[in-house]
Amino acid sequence: MSTDQGFRPDWAQKDFYAVLGVSKDASAADIKKAYRRLARDNHPDSNPGDAAKHETFKAVAEAYDVVGDPEKRAKYDEMRSLYAGGRMPGGFGGGGGFTADDLLREQAGGGFGDMFGDLFGGGFGRARQQAPRPRRGADVETSATISFTDAIDGVTISLRLSSDAPCPDCKGSGGKPGTRPHVCGHCDGAGYVVNSMGGFSINETCPVCGGRQLVYDEACPTCGGSGRGLSSRTIQARIPAGVKDGQRIRLRGKGAAGENGGPAGDLLVAVKVAPHRLFGRKDDNLTLEVPVSFAEAALGAEITIPTLGGSPVTVKVPAGTPNGRTFRVRGKGVPRADGTHGDLLATVEVQVPAVLDDAARAAVEAYRDATRDKPLRARLFDEATA
């Protein structure tokens, strides 16, 4: 059951006992029994599409939320007693034209607001005295394309953003400049409404005032009453070293501005990394395809290869190295968050010359003749007939 002590003025005109079909002096057990029966008979799950029963279910839940709680019930009975005796101000008991603005003034200076603040534990007055609730700004999403090298090293980029912001004319109020607001009648200035669901209640943002607590009779012509507009700005965003293609970077507080003193939202940058002409990436390692000659692969060699943004390194290729073998160069890969680096993975590609001069052809033919008695494909036939 809800423990919310905030009462609404219109409850003084509602007979919750009649809604539940019990007398004012009914016992707590009788009230609970009546509620369970009515809630079961009118529950939306048991009556799909029956709007009347849905409304009855809400009324029954609201009634039980008040008179089913001993503390709330006592305060409700006191409110009803004042209402019946004609001691409620005009706006609540008839005659007198008591308005929500009057209520705000009364609460600011004492009197009626103080009386009901005491009667209902302060909840009746606080809903109207509190300042509009701060709202966090919305998150903003954008994308940026950076070079492969910048992704590895990190880079600061400029981003031009258009994001949601308070309307420059009404300053986010939603009202026509120069006009005065009044307390929202739907939520009675609380900024939220209580949706009773069986034995508990849920506070939801008021659909009329959008949580602002105040409404204007004339909407701001610039924003149409939404209180929001667009803001264009340029910010500097730091993309950390080692960012991956497709990764989203969250920049705290760089999103849309908040309302009523609320914090700004975040900026989410989807990073696209342009490919490099030589280097690739596999996790925290860089990859590089290195061409080697047949002689280097067969006889062995020491070859020099480039690194990304650093000095060249020497790799020893052993004699008899096959095509596709990968050599690991430690610490020449992508920087990690802990300060270490991945490796550079260099894969050799044995090159077959497209054109041979006479001397080279003679040498290859001599090699062919020397290895003629060692056919490479003999094993294929042995395995095929096994």
For residue 163, what is the domain's CATH number?
2.60.260.20
In a domain? residue 65: yes
Could you give the maximum distance between any two Cα atoms of the chain, in Å? 122
Mean pLDDT of the chain: 80
Same domain, 59 and 173: no
Same domain, 253 and 286: no
Same domain, 146 and 268: yes
Same domain, 257 and 358: no
pLDDT at residue 247, as a whole number: 94
Mean pLDDT of 169-176: 82
**Model pTM?**
0.51
Quick one: residue 97, left, alpha or beta (phi over 0 = left, psi -120 to 50 = alpha)? left
Same domain, 37 and 71: yes
Same domain, 15 and 55: yes
Residue 256 to residue 265: CA distance in whole angstroms: 5
pLDDT at 158 over 50: yes
Query: Among the three residues 256, 273, 290, which one is the final residue of a domain in this structure?
Result: 273
In a domain? residue 191: no
Same domain, 269 and 144: yes
In a domain? residue 134: no
pLDDT at residue 163, as a whole number: 66
Same domain, 146 and 259: yes
pLDDT at 283 over 70: yes
pLDDT at 228 over 90: no
Same domain, 75 and 161: no
Give the chain's domain count: 3
Q: Angle between the 51-67 and 28-42 helix axes, to the nearest 10 degrees? A: 160
* C-alpha neighbours within 13 Å on the C-beta side of residue 125: 21
Same domain, 151 and 256: yes
Q: What is the pLDDT of residues 121-156, one digit of tens each?
A: 444 444 444 556 677 888 888 999 999 999 999 999
Domain of residue 337 covers 279-370
Under 8 Å CB-to-CB from 267, ≥6 apart: which residues?
139, 140, 141, 142, 159, 161, 235, 237, 250, 251, 254, 255
Same domain, 304 and 245: no
In a domain? residue 190: no
Task: Show the CA angle centred on residue 237, arms to residues 234 and 240, nearest 5°.
Answer: 170
The DSSP symbol for 94 reads S
Same domain, 265 and 152: yes
Query: Among the three residues 235, 250, 273, which one is the final residue of a domain in this structure?
Result: 273
Residue 75 to residue 79: CA distance in whole angstroms: 6
Mean pLDDT of 311-336: 95
In a domain? residue 353: yes
